[in-house]
Structure 1
Amino acid sequence: MRLSISMVAVAGLLTGCAQGALSTRESRIGPDDGTDACRAQLVALDSTGNFFGAQILTGAAIGAAGGALAGGLIGRDLKGALIGAVAGGVLGAAGGYWSAVQQQRSDQAGMFAQVGGDLSRENAQIDRTQLAFDQLMDCRFRQAEAIRHDYAAHRIDRTLAVARMNTVKQRAERDLALARQINQQIADRGAQFVVAADNLAPGAKTAIAAQAPPPRPATVRRPAALKLRPDPAAPSIGSVQAHDKVTVTPGRGGYALVETASGQRGYAPVADVQGASSRSLPPASAPAGAAVTPDEVRTLAGSNAARRDSFAQSVAVSEQAAGGFELSS
């Protein structure tokens, strides 16, 4: 009895820690003091992140339980079982989701339906998270730009402008810490989906790896603004000039991610950069009412990987750009 209770406690501890069970909104994003004009966008991002935090490590607990059995339950060795639980949690996390699918679905059609449905929901949630993050970063960068304009127009003095800019920087750092946490949760879940997809549709893992081309050298055709996100309405965070040598990675929406020789990154229209390309995100969900096929699982898993990559890309670009929240000299 004591052994069983101990193992349940270990599994609960692993699951609770992984899900951030003790985390509250206030601990993640701070209290609302009524002074942050971007608070609504911040709350929206935090709310979308709840999806990933609440669900992500169900598989790790399953893996931990399997590791515990291998490590010591059979021999009634509590110490070995505890060690196995920890090892299983680490090694079993990526395969935990697939194990759960096998346990809950006894037939192949059910497994395809489960994974297809879960991937569809995951992709839709990543889209919502991407939108929430884009809107939050837009708000922060426009806050910084408004401070610069007020200072340039002599509506505020330098001391007040610096103080306000420092507040925006501090809040942006907190925003990005939250985004990095969500990004890691999305990546961890993505690893579990890849395992499941590759088991149901062999070759899915290889296809996913092949769909992300490496950065390549390119030349700028004409002057262009570097945007915070792939959208002409996004804040400008830099620029490139004709004939500049840059490195490009496919973006989305007709934009490529451009990195200059100095290391600055931002999005530019593919038409402005010779050798640049964009990619369209594959369908986010399976056709309604139809049986999910191996090809559809591969497509959905590839769509999930593309969305994960796009979100990670956005976080990295915003993190670098936010380091430039300064007053104009």
Structure 2
Amino acid sequence: MMFKIPVENIIERIKQEKGLSDTEINQMIEKKIEQLSGLVSREGAAHIVANELGVKLFEPVEGRIQIKNVLVGMRKVEVAGKVLQLGTVREFETPDGKQGKVGSLMIGDESDVIRVVLWGSIADKLNEISEGDLIKIENGYVRERNGRKEIHLSDKGNIIINPSDIEIGEVKLPTPEQKKIIELNEGDLNVEIVGTIIQVFDPTFYEVCPVCGKRIKKVEENEGEGFKCNKHGLFKEPSFAYVLNIFVDDGSDIIRCVLFRENATALIGEDVMSYKDGSFDDVKMRLIGTQVKLRGRVVKNLLFDRLEFIVNEVEKKDLSTAEESIAEEEKVE
């Protein structure tokens, strides 16, 4: 199997082993493309050049590897990382009528970050994982989606939560990719959009575990009374969390944005819990017309067949302030 290695990585490997310059290597790649009448990609030509120079691009590996060394096409992959973002488990039906489950999360180590997609019963592991946990992934396989690497895990794979033999240093998120709403794709993990709030909904409040903060549901009568957390057991009285939905328009398109807990509070500038039993109308009126910069990830809402933006970070700028700044600039001109 040929692993998909970025051209810049191939060039770097050739430089290290053969002492050639970027210019020399690129000339060799272009010459190879010309020799093959353009019937080879730049990546394929780079592979051929490396082979002709005797440069081995891939060494078989055993055991855990850093995320930056994960390549599309790899199987039986073992990595470890810190959980940076958690998705939810959703169920679906295959064309032949079978029921399936899928969920995802983002992990990172000192070298890079990557999306991990869980299929089948192993997707239920998401209910046991919290952001900030360390996890080890075993027997994964690597695919490409929208130009990005992803580790996929089926029921043949394994996840170990907070293993005692794993330590992860500082994880640095890459700079968010700035996009127009119309350019967003399902699976985008670290993107930034800027737009204007055009619609705000009442916040939704829901029960969560007082210990871990995960969503919990009322137990059936035969199980006792109260609410049950899969990790921490029964509670007579739950804690509450909340989610706020808004629509944002950036001129290219409109998208529904979902803000959980602290991000909802950051947007409105006060604790959303204070509106649990009161009217939210004044806040909605105040927010409409506000310009915001949002960072987060893109998911697909299957029920409505649309993309939605899960917000991880909020910056807001009042529209009147923006207009004042423009007016001042015009005066200077």
Asked whether the two chains share a fold, i.e. TM above 0.5, the reply is: no
Task: Compare CA radii of gyration and give the structure with the larger one.
Answer: 2
Higher strand proportion (structure 1 or 2): 2
Tell which has more relative contact order, 1 or 2 (C-alpha 8 A, sep 6+): 1
Higher helix proportion (structure 1 or 2): 1
